[in-house]
Structure 1
Amino acid sequence: MRLSQRQIDLFNAIMIHKSMTAAAAVLGTSQPTISREIREMERRIGFDLFLRFGKRLTPTNQAVLLHETVRRSFIGLDEISRAASAIRSHNAANFRIASIPAHAESVIPRVIQRFLHARPAVLFSIHSHEEPSLRHEMTTQAFDLSLTESQFEREGATTETIHVGDMVCVLPLEHPLAGKTMLTPSDFEGQPFIYFGQNDPYRHKLDEIFSAAGVTRDYAAETTTAASVCAMVAAGVGVSVINPLTAASQAPRNVAFRRLSVSVPYLLSIWRPAHSTRTARADKFVATLREVVAEMSETLQLALEPQAPHGVQANRNS
């Protein structure tokens, strides 16, 4: 069983425009022709794609599932078209970066802004995934750089790390603990806590710290990105501990950041293909990345000091 490209195009048009008449108008053909082609397509695949009620069409569950695959194939074709357009305009310097969301939402936008100021012709393509998915992406696709939290073996790649700083506590602005400069694990006893996902490496490190201190945190919520942690903290859902890059990108906003008495170093791992034609551009990007990380670290240090009201001394007990 093999479907023709025309049948796939017709099916996609019907799913998008919700009727054969509209699909026929878009594709410049007739409704009877589309109806005939779709019935032939159903015969080949062995199941109905649409329930027919007069002129009304309702996609079957099988059609919805099939269209998910068809839609992805059209997205791939769109990417090819965009690449061809870039090549035609002599602007094909596409620089592909794979990254976890924490970096894609914090440091990468600032690096790109600075990079493009000096090299405006570069086209950046950012692919953001949680780290387990990102590892797979790194092995199946060609990226010029990959930014992760963890170090792991990857064939045909070189790696380096940037020590960003320590993980920091994040609290609602009016939280009682926000009056302290530094928080200890015991300060979190009984506090509603926003956890990272089960696969997050820093969740495991924090769990070990609180467990060793005999501290029980109340479960408030669980999420996969530091940005969403900050959003929930700002909404008063609970407190948490996040990476310093996200903290720096959020500060100063509607949450408070404080030091944790136990050092939890946060590393940014950079993966590069061992053999690449874009080594010079990657070198420049990494150099810019290091500059921006250093600046964000300085910004965070200012945000880690509690801003007490005038005439009120902040509690500096740890």
Structure 2
Amino acid sequence: MFTLGRNMHIKALRAFRITMIEGSIAKASEKMHLSQSAISRLISSLEGELKLELFLRSGRRLIPTQQAVAFDREARRILDNLDEIKRIADEIRTAQTQRLRVLAMPRVAPTLVSPTVKIFLALHSDVHLSVDVRTRRDAEQWLLGREYDLGIEPLPINHPDINSEVLLKVRAEAILPLNHPLSDKSEISASDLKDEAMIALLPNLLLRTQMEDFFHS
């Protein structure tokens, strides 16, 4: 995780973020109502503070580096939190301080989280509940940063500072052609599939890793 130094100007962070979104300094300058040279100076100061090369300069074009893509996730988190300050202050002033921040991954958000949120808010209308949908890859980092009160993610979550419990278990299913020799079986074991051709998920996905562990066992 990247951290900001005390002297880093928030405006430089916003200039970087808007440049990443818009794809050019010219468009970022329009959004921020600053000159293009001012945007360039802000980004250069950010690079100096972070000791990172965020953009490759080709004429008037800026090409984000891999370091820029990695830092952009952190910049978004920091700026999102800053944008929350006014709303949080309003809640404190009006004594509406009950907040629940939930982190969910795309696979469970529409089918599990959305119906649960509807039921919860019907019972607890005084709670301000927000749900962010993010990839599992960064889940532990977001939870450890105390950005969220609750995460709904596939296990395992192995960090010692995160308490986890099982909410539900689901069975894996095999999708087979109707005329496949295994299609009449009510249950299929790993040994049944050991010589079968399979369509696999992308490498490094959690479910892919779990399936590989299942077959290796």
TM range (shorter): 0.5 to 0.7
Cα offsets for 1:148-174 (capped at 9, x unmatched): 4347573474x5445636x24231574
Greater relative contact order (Cα 8 A, min sep 6): structure 1 or 2? Answer: 1
Work out the CA distance in 1 between the residues paired with 2:188 and 2:161: 41
- Secondary structure of the residue aligned to 2:175 is strand
Instruction: Provide Cα deviations, 1:45-72, integer angstroms capped at 9, x if missing partner.
Output: 79886343xxxx111555x744753574
Q: Identity across aligned pairs (percent)?
A: 12
Q: 2:84 aligns with which of 75, 82, 85?
A: 82
Distance 1:141 1:189, change over 3 A: same
1:122 pairs with 2:128: yes
Q: Give the alignment's TM-score, normalised by structure 1.
A: 0.44
Taking the aligned partners of 1:60 and 1:12, their CA distance within structure 2 comes to 13
Is the aligned partner of 1:183 residue 2:187?
yes
Report the equivalent of 1:107: 112
The 8 Å contact of residues 20 and 34 in structure 1, kept in 2 or not, is answered as no
Q: 1:114 to 1:83 in 2, by over 3 A?
A: farther
Contact 2:16–2:43 (8 Å) recurs in 1 = no
- The equivalences for 1:286-305 within 5 A come to none
Kindly provide the CA deviation profile for residues 90-116 of structure 1, in whole angstroms up to 9, marking residues without a partner as x: 665432334565544542233223223
Contact 1:42-1:49 at 8 Å conserved across structures: no
CA RMSD of aligned residues (A): 4.6
Deviations 1:130-160 (A, max 9, x none): 4x75445444436433444347573474x54
Cα distance change on mapping 1:19 and 1:80 into 2, 3 Å: closer
| Greater radius of gyration (CA) | 1
Question: Is the Cα contact below 8 Å between 1:97 and 1:145 reproduced in 2?
Answer: yes
**AA paired with 1:73?**
A
Asked if the contact 1:20/1:35 (under 8 Å) is kept, the reply is yes
Alignment of 1:127-138 (within 5 A): 128-130=134-136, 134-138=139-143
Richer in strand (by share): 1
Please show how residues 172-211 of structure 1 align to structure 2 within 5 Å. Answer: 172=176, 174=178, 176=180, 180=184, 182-185=186-189, 187-188=192-193, 190-195=195-200, 200-201=209-210, 203-208=212-217
How far apart, in 2, do the equivalents of 1:119 and 1:97 lie? 15
